[in-house]
Amino acid sequence: MKTSTKKMFTITALCGFSFVFGAFITQKLENSPITVAVVNEAEKLIGIDFKDAQADSMLNGLTDHRKAYEELRKLHLDNSVVPALNFNPIPVGFVYPDKSSGFLLDKRSITQMPADKNELAFYSIRQLADLIRTKKITSVELTKFFIQRLKTYDPKLLFVVNYTEELALKQAAQADAEIKVGHYKGVLHGIPFGVKDLLSAKGYKTTWGSVPYKNQQLDVDATVVKKLEAAGAVLVAKLTLGELASGDVWFGGRTNNPWDLKRGSSGSSAGPASAISAGCLPFAIGSETLGSIVSPSTECGDTGLRPSFGRVSKTGAMALSWTMDKLGPITRSAEDCAIVFNAIQGIDPQDLSTISAPFKYDGNQKSLKGWKIGYLKADFDRGRGNKSSDSSTLIKLKELGAELVPIELPKLPYNSLRFILETESGAAFQELVLNHKDDQMVRQGKGGWPNIFRTAQFVPAVEYIQANRVRTMVIQDWYEKLKGLDMYVAPAFSGNLVLTNLTANPCVVLPNGFNKQGRPLSITFMGQLFGEGKILEAAKIYQDATDFNKKHPTLNF
Phi, psi of 233 (to 5 degrees): -70, 160
pTM of the model: 0.93
**Per annotation, catalytic residue among 268, 269, 313, 353:** 268
SS3 per-residue string spanning 273-322: HHHHHCCCCCCEEEEECCCCCHHHHHHHCCEEEECCCCCECCCCECCCCC
Cβ partners under 8 Å of residue 465, min gap 6: none
Confidence (pLDDT) at 442: 87
pLDDT digits (tens, 9 = 90+) for 57-113: 999 999 999 999 999 999 999 999 999 999 999 999 999 999 999 999 998 888 999
Determine whether 292 is an active site residue.
Answer: yes
Let me know if 196 is a catalytic residue.
yes
DSSP three-state, residue 56: helix
Of the candidates 292, 308, 321, 522, the residue annotated as catalytic is 292
**CB of 236 within 8 A of CB of 168?**
yes
CA 383, CA 205: separation in Å to the nearest integer? 43
Q: How confident is the model at residue 494 (pLDDT cuts 50, 70, 90)?
A: confident
For residue 29, what pLDDT band results from cuts at 50, 70 and 90?
Answer: low
DSSP secondary structure code for residue 106 in this structure = P
Helix 165-180 to helix 125-133 angle (10° resolution) is 50
Indicate which residue of 196, 226, 326, 534 is catalytic. Answer: 196
Give the pLDDT score at 8: 37
**Per-residue pLDDT tens for 224-275?**
999 999 999 999 999 999 999 999 999 999 999 999 999 999 999 999 999 9
The DSSP secondary structure of 12-54, one letter per residue, reads HHHTTS-----HHHHHTGGGS---HHHHHHHHHHHT----HHH
Residues of the chain with CATH 3.90.1300.10: 102-355+365-413+468-550
* Gap between the Cα atoms of 522 and 509, Å rounded: 7
Give the CATH fold of the 102-355+365-413+468-550 domain. Amidase signature (AS) enzymes (3.90.1300)
